């Protein structure tokens, strides 16, 4: 028969989950997403979120409130008559009147192994910390930040050279499957929730632009994790002088390299760069205003290659 669901999500990560819920036969009565953002040089056009565009293509009513903290929005939310709300990277805080409105509460799909990496950037933080494993979890939402009890988990290893973009896509696909399974169990009355552990809590704070510059004095393993954890966005970067002054270059893919030297020293023609301990070999980079290229194309197109990156 299916559940009456309000879906709440915004970015590309969330869209496959909405598709899976619809394909599972549930009735998505409304979709809540962030408001369209100004686009273009002058900001004269508006860009809808990936979830917004998908919901419209599925003829699902879309709402884009700036806040859920007023009585009118709470009343409109209650009027949907939802059995449950399913939330995936929505971007707005759900106050208690919203959390309490659906008959079966609000569920959230979170991209970490809670209680590790609660918060805004769990995928990036897991890689930047050198974690060997992560996953997605379905939890019941509370007023605390990702503190609710967990019902279902999918675990996945983090490969040695996997980027945040790679892991994002993998967890989005797996999360879609997990969401469908969880809602099926919820409809049958068989979804069991277990409180999170009190130990091991870490917060995945939003990525700050000040974090993105590569510090070559750190050990190679940490530099590599930093690069892949910030790829493709916002991108870890360094500076190089190709004869016209310092130029910012993003490092998008890397692996552990061979050799040693002063931090930032370019060690050879395979774009290995010395770190505080060991070396990192850059595999894909992007000069300012250019498209991403392989290390080989970068070396061929750079002309004079500086011997030190800063």
Pick from 13, 3, 12, 29: nearest CA to 182: 3
**pLDDT (tens digit, 9 = 90+) per residue, 253-274?**
999 999 999 999 999 888 999 9
pLDDT on residue 42: 63
Round the average pLDDT of the chain to a whole number and report it. Answer: 95
**The CATH number of domain 4-203 is 3.40.50.170:** yes
Q: What percent of the chain has pLDDT over 90?
A: 88
Instruction: Answer yes or no: is pLDDT of 41 > 70.
Output: no
Calpha distance 283→251 (Å, rounded): 8
Q: Which of 40-44, 158-162, 301-305 has the highest mean pLDDT?
A: 158-162
pTM: 0.94
Spacing of C-alpha 55 from chain mean position: 20
How far apart CA 193 and CA 138 sit, in angstroms, is 9
Task: Report the phi/psi class of residue 188: left, alpha or beta, with left for phi > 0 and alpha for psi in -120 to 50.
Answer: alpha
d(CA 55, CA 58): 5
Phi, psi dihedral angles at 276 (to 5 degrees): -60, -35
- Model confidence band, residue 302 (pLDDT cutoffs 50, 70, 90): confident
Q: What angle do CA 164, 277, 157 make, to 5 degrees?
A: 30
List pLDDT tens digits, range 232-259. Answer: 999 999 999 888 889 999 999 999 999 9
Radius of gyration of the chain (CA): 22
Judge: domain 209-301, CATH 3.10.25.10.
Answer: yes
Instruction: Note the pLDDT of residue 308.
Output: 82
236-217-263 Cα angle (round to 5)? 95
- The arithmetic mean of pLDDT across residues 143-161, rounded, is 97
Q: How confident is the model over 14-26, as a mean pLDDT?
A: 98
Please give the Cα distance from 279 to 300 (Å, whole number): 21
Half-sphere exposure of 52 (CA within 13 A, CB side): 15
Domain boundaries, the chain: 4-203, 209-301
């Amino acid at each position: 028969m299916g559940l009456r669901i309000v879906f709440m999500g915004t970015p590309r990560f969330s869209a496959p989950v909405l598709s899976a819920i619809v394909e599972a036969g549930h009735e998505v009565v409304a979709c809540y997403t962030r408001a369209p953002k100004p686009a273009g040089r002058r900001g004269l056009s508006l860009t809808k979120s990936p979830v917004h565009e998908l919901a419209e293509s599925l003829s699902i009513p879309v709402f884009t409130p700036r806040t859920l903290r007023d009585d009118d929005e709470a009343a409109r939310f209650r009027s949907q008559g939802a059995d449950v709300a399913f939330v995936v990277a929505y971007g707005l805080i759900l106050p208690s009147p919203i959390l309490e409105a659906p008959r079966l509460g609000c569920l959230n799909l979170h991209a970490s192994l809670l209680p590790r990496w609660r918060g805004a950037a769990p995928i990036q933080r897991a890689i930047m910390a050198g974690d060997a494993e992560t996953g997605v979890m379905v939890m019941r939402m509370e007023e605390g930040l990702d503190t609710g009890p967990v019902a279902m988990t999918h675990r996945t290893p983090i490969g040695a050279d996997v980027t945040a973009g790679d892991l994002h896509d993998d967890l989005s696909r797996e999360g879609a499957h997990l969401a469908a399974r969880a809602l099926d169990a919820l409809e049958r009355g068989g979804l069991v929730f277990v409180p999170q552990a009190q130990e091991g809590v870490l917060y995945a704070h939003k990525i700050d632009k000040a974090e993105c510059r590569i510090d070559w004095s750190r050990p190679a393993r940490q530099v590599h994790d930093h690069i892949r954890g910030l790829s493709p966005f916002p991108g870890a970067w360094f500076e190089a002088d190709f004869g016209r002054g310092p130029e910012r270059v993003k490092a998008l893919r890397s692996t552990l390299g061979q050799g040693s030297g002063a931090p930032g020293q370019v060690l050879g023609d395979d774009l290995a760069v010395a770190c505080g301990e060991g070396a990192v070999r850059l595999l894909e980079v992007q000069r300012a205003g250019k498209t991403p290229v392989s290390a080989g194309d970068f070396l061929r197109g750079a002309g004079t290659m500086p011997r030190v990156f800063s």
